């Protein structure tokens, strides 16, 4: 028995555990002959699939999570000045839930402090995925008035608000202001500028108006969701959250006028008829709603069954389209000469997906997270276009192939080889975060294409592609359906506001492991596809891929009790006589802890014993083990056991080099 005075300390952090969820009722997609080999099909773990929540069921889960906020905050080790604000919730078929929160500190919003709490069916908290692992704390929340930024005079600007900026390194007290007005091309401006409250230095800025573009080809004669009867109908889709479509009539502000019609027959297929653009936008919104509901079990952009709205005929000769969280709406220009409205299927899906991203991961629209935000919209734009199976606008891996913005009949963006547009990037490199998000998105677009279809020449749905790889090694696709499931699961469960490409790889690998298993073809295909765009290495390569022999997921250590964190090694032969185990454990009074390395066959190698006299905090060191008698390939585990009560903590990360 240990004899020493003790003071009970809160856990220094929280945990991230393997979780489950994703697509339900996934529809099959037809592919043409000659598209190349695919990985063997596999069924996802049924428990990893989402429950299709009705708006009222979702609202009840949010109410329950909100009521339990104090207990949840304590369970995951937040400080006394921190509070959680529920933003979204996902429930899996196995009864587990994944609740997304924003965080406040002493009443101030914490930008970059968002997190996802994972709970079992019984309500036990098993982990949390955090946008930052930094401790949320500042010496004072009093800000100097001399460094408070002046409110911009531009229309739509807001007064500065005091916040904590936690998206980069140590949290600091800051001011956030939103600059309104318009951008150079006529797009509305909602530029968020973050400045240090003590020095006035600009820390960060990002654009909240999310641009996108697609083809302007009309989809032929389609069925629309409308409301009304007799001689008065409107473009109000009562079956899809009452999504409405409005005519801005060349204006650039306000909602515009709701489209109405006497006979419920809309447009004539030409841009000279003002209803035609409304038809395409309304139809695209319906297809996107149906895709997310039927394929991913999501009822509306926010999952609450509430429709957004669309505005067409924005401005004059405006060659773009955009999403705004502030109005929860999509807006479309009429293109060059006001003759090519940007209202095709993939444009609507692209813009609505910005809304889905805002409701889930909330990827900041700048740097690498901004590229991932933009790529997510391109990825699901392609998914919706394929799912629609419209003969007038066949599914493809191009963006803007019909609008001809460049005037030479070429697509605006290519997912199989992004650099073909002259600006997008095929592969990751250290400066990718400084590239415009529409072009840095090429890395994720390329990854998704390779994961879906594989590398090299092939024909899919009648369209020819030829996708290269960074390392000139081939990639075998697993099919678009599985790739969509993996990306959506990672977006809704693993991505946060600050996710970069390395973290996206980790998140998609975790999603693949949850759905298909860590030794599955799908899991390995994700690793191969990321390596093919220079994010991590091939499975079995010299450098460890995320989820390979390094695990950065937080695992809370029971007080008392044991927890195991796994890694998978893909190496021929036996492990080394100098096997290296790098450990990073956050825990008060580390003498409480016993640490073992567990080989795939169950053999345990003691790394650290308990010690009643070791009162220091944390275990951050590297151990060397002679594991040469063990077969290297397989799942290894770091087992951490807390022998005594009172002090607590978690496994922050560990790395095995066998």
Query: If you ran DSSP here, which 8-state letter would residue 471 be given?
Result: T
425: Cβ–Cβ under 8 A, 6 or more apart, which residues?
418, 419, 432, 435, 439, 440, 442, 443
Q: Which of 210, 243, 354, 438 is catalytic?
A: 438
CA distance 183 to 138: 35
**Largest separation between any pair of C-alpha atoms in the chain:** 86
At 3, list the tokens.
Answer: 């004899």
Q: Which of 176, 351, 368, 374 is catalytic?
A: 351
Rounded to the nearest 5 percent, the helix, strand and coil shares of the chain are: 25, 30, 50
Write out 164-214 in H/E/C secondary structure: EECCCCCCEEEEEEEECCECCCCCECCEEEEEECCCCCEEEEEECEEEECC
At 330, list the tokens.
Answer: 């999509």
Contact status, residue 336 vs residue 399, Cβ threshold 8 Å: no
Contact status, residue 166 vs residue 134, Cβ threshold 8 Å: yes
At 93, list the tokens.
Answer: 């078929």
Give the up-direction half-sphere exposure of residue 17: CA atoms within 13 A in the CB hemisphere: 19
351 classed as catalytic: yes
Whether the CA torsion 519, 523, 528, 531 is positive or negative: it is negative
210 classed as catalytic: no
Whether the CA torsion 531, 449, 416, 370 is positive or negative: it is negative
Query: Which of these, 208, 131, 206, 144, lies nearest to 171 by C-alpha position?
Result: 131
Give the up-direction half-sphere exposure of residue 531: CA atoms within 13 A in the CB hemisphere: 23
How many Cβ atoms are within 10 Å of 363's Cβ, its own excluded? 30
Query: Which of these, 293, 295, 218, 290, lies nearest to 24 by C-alpha position?
Result: 295
At 2, list the tokens.
Answer: 């240990």
Catalytic residue numbers read 351, 438
């Amino acid at each position: 028995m240990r004899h020493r005075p003790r003071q009970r300390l809160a856990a220094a952090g929280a945990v991230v555990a393997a979780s489950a969820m994703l697509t339900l009722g996934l529809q099959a997609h037809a592919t043409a002959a000659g598209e190349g080999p695919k990985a063997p099909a596999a069924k996802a773990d049924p428990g990893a699939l989402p429950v299709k929540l009705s708006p009222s069921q979702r609202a009840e889960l949010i109410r329950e999570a909100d009521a339990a906020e104090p207990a949840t905050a304590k369970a995951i080790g937040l400080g006394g000045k921190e509070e959680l604000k529920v933003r979204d919730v996902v429930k899996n078929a196995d009864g587990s839930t994944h609740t997304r929160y924003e965080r406040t500190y002493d009443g101030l919003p914490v930008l970059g402090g968002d997190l996802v709490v994972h709970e079992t069916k019984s309500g036990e908290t098993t982990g949390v995925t955090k946008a930052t692992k930094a401790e949320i704390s500042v010496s004072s929340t009093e800000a100097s008035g001399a460094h408070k930024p002046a409110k911009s005079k531009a229309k739509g600007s807001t007064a500065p608000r005091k916040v904590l900026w936690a998206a980069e390194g140590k949290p600091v007290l800051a001011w956030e202001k939103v600059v309104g007005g318009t951008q150079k091309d006529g797009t509305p401006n909602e530029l968020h500028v973050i400045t240090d409250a003590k020095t006035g230095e600009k820390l960060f800025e990002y654009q909240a108006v999310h641009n996108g573009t697609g083809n302007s080809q009309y989809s032929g004669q389609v069925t629309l969701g409308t409301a009304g009867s007799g001689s008065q109908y409107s473009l109000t889709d009562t079956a899809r959250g009452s999504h409405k479509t409005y005519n801005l009539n060349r204006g650039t502000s306000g909602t515009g006028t709701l489209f109405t019609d006497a006979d419920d027959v809309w447009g004539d297929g030409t841009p000279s008829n003002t209803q035609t653009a409304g038809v395409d936008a309304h139809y695209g919104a319906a297809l996107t709603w149906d895709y997310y509901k039927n394929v991913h079990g999501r009822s509306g952009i926010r999952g609450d069954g509430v429709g957004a709205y669309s505005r067409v005929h924005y401005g004059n000769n405006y060659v773009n389209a955009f999403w705004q969280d502030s109005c929860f709406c999509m807006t479309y220009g009429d293109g060059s000469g006001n003759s090519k409205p940007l209202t095709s299927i993939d444009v609507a899906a692209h813009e609505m997906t910005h809304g889905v991203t805002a409701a889930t991961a909330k990827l900041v629209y700048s740097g690498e997270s901004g590229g991932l935000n933009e790529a997510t919209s391109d990825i699901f734009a392609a998914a919706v276009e394929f799912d629609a199976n419209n003969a007038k606008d066949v599914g493809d891996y191009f963006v803007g192939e019909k609008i001809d913005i460049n005037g030479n009949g070429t697509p605006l963006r290519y997912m199989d080889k992004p650099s073909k547009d002259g600006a997008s990037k095929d592969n990751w490199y250290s400066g990718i975060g400084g590239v415009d998000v529409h072009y840095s998105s090429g890395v994720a677009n390329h990854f998704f294409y390779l994961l879906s279809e594989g590398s090299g020449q092939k024909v899919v749905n009648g369209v020819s592609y030829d996708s290269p790889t960074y390392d000139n090694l081939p990639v075998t696709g697993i099919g678009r359906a599985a790739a969509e499931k993996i990306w959506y699961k990672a977006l809704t469960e693993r991505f946060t506001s600050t996710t970069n490409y390395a973290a996206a790889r980790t998140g998609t690998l975790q999603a693949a492991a949850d759905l298909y298993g860590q030794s599955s073809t799908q899991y390995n295909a994700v690793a191969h596809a990321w390596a093919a765009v220079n994010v991590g290495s091939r499975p079995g390569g010299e450098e460890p891929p995320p989820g390979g022999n390094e695990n950065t997921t937080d695992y809370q250590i029971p007080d008392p009790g044991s927890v195991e964190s796994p890694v998978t090694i893909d190496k021929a032969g036996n492990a080394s006589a100098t096997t290296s185990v790098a450990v990073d454990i956050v825990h008060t009074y580390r003498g409480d802890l016993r640490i073992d390395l567990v080989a795939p066959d169950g053999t345990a190698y003691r790394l650290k014993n308990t010690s009643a006299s070791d009162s220091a905090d944390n275990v951050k060191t590297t151990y060397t083990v002679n594991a040469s008698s063990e077969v290297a390939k397989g799942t290894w585990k770091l087992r951490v056991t807390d022998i005594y009560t009172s002090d607590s903590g978690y496994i922050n990360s560990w790395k095995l080099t066998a």
